[in-house]
Amino acid sequence: MFKKVLVANRGEIAVRILRACEERGLQTVAVYSEADRNALHVRYANEAFLIGPPPSSQSYLRIDKIIDVAKRSGADAIHPGYGFLAENDEFAQACVDEGIAFIGPTPENMRAMGDKVTARQTMIAAGVPVVPGSAHGLRDDEVAAEAQRIGLPVLIKASAGGGGKGMRVVRDESELQRSLGAARREAMSAFGDDTVYLEKLIERPRHIEIQILADSHGNVIHLGERECSIQRRHQKLIEESPSVAVDEALRQKMGELSVQAARAVNYVSAGTLEFLLDQSGNFYFLEMNTRLQVEHPVTERVTGVDIVKEMITIAAGRRMRLKQEDIRPKGWAIECRITAEDPINNFMPSGGKITTLQEPTGPGVRVESGIYEGFEVSLFYDPMIAKLICWGETRAEALLRMRRALNEYRIGGIKTSIPFHQQIMSSAQFMWGTFDTNFLEERFSMTYTERPEMELSAAIAAALVAHTSEQRATVMHHTSGSTGSAWKRSGGWKR
């Protein structure tokens, strides 16, 4: 096992990894920018090194500086967390070249799955269903013919993209060239690569992902699914495990194909295969995230598997102690991403000093946080400052526990997404599970309220119905046929 691990990240995920290392008896090293001198991860690590000014391009994205700190501190392994350099094959390769273990997939894994076009071709060869689309990056003069072959509506997608950047929906041929130019410009700005391809637009899908673990000895398992359909501009805001839209037969099929896909690229470490699930129960490969996911705690909570510790074990060359038959999920877990944004004002970023902090506690409540009272929230980085995870024996209990925990959560000095999550937890459609990836944009409206409340009997009844396995068909039916906001039809909050 390693002796000292450098965590090449910041915020709540850096703290999460540092804790896992401490539980393994490993010494830890943090890196930080000038904006993060007083950050929680800096205080938590055994050693901490300044690596540059606040902009991430001059600090957290500097491979040379991070490798230099690893060598100077004597770190024999690096965990990248997620974001920043987590899926950068050059960073993973630099670690290998310097004899430093990379706690994550191999550079070859990243190259195989990091480019969406290559990933699609790999999945097709492995027998995994993919969304109909173009098989390669397209020239401008090829796009119109491909769109006609696939059939409108289509998505123009950046090959190197993510988070909705470099993506445009095209419903009419007249929009094609304008949308193509906009997608290429955005992709070049965000990723330095304007390569695009086309995919058929799946209307009103659910976003389902499968967590896998694989070691270097050929052992691959899956840890079930996560529901990630509550999204704003292709950014996930709420996740849960399991999904009300997935029954045992579908879960087994998706899991087996995910394991098959991982084997096809000789995958090592934790990884996630993302799928779109249509109204008929058909699923299609979307992409593979070759890293730890933000939403990994909901899977940990229902399976009892510490994914970060498993990543460390795998990176050390050991066999996983787990087999597929060992994975027996129990209960239900929901995660809310707490961000420093104002949901009443179109989610505008909100920086400043944390003047008050009261985190919820109690049975089934877990908080992953990168802040403390007096901490200065910077606008240089991603606005996520914490994650709130609640578990229950049933979805009803998890949902009601989340409502209680959100009502206890107090963060003063800045605006946060807590009011948004409170409103979602009291949305009839969310409680019934009749939502899809378009829910927030089409059937939800944010309304200001200090303390959203709803009759608990109604919440319990709705959540219990959504929890029952025989409701899957009803969920899909309601999702496809719903018009207008269920929240609006309910008359808003009851005080």
- Catalytic residues, by residue number, are 291
- Positive or negative: CA dihedral 257, 258, 259, 262: positive
Which is nearest to 102 in space by CA: 386, 312, 343, 380?
A: 312
Q: Give Cα separations from 444 to 95, 447, 459 (angstroms).
A: 45, 10, 17
Beta bridge partners of 235: 232
Q: What CA–CA distance (Å, rounded) separates 201 from 453?
A: 37
Q: What CA–CA distance (Å, rounded) separates 108 from 406?
A: 42
Q: Give Cα separations from 195 to 160, 167, 183, 260 (angstroms).
A: 7, 11, 9, 28
Are 341 and 416 in contact, with CB atoms under 8 Å apart?
yes
Are 91 and 80 in contact, with CB atoms under 8 Å apart?
yes
- What angle, 0 to 180 degrees and rounded to 10, lies between the N-to-C axes of helices 307-315 and 296-303? 100
What does DSSP assign to residue 233? T
**H or E element, residue 33:** strand 27-33
Count the helix, strand and coil residues of the chain and give each as a percent rounded to the nearest 5: 40, 25, 35
Are 160 and 113 in contact, with CB atoms under 8 Å apart?
no
Q: What CA–CA distance (Å, rounded) separates 453 from 407?
A: 9
- Positive or negative: CA dihedral 223, 229, 230, 233: positive
One-letter identity of residue 389 = I
Q: How far is CA 221 from the centre of its chain?
A: 19
Which is nearest to 273 in space by CA: 306, 299, 248, 247?
A: 299
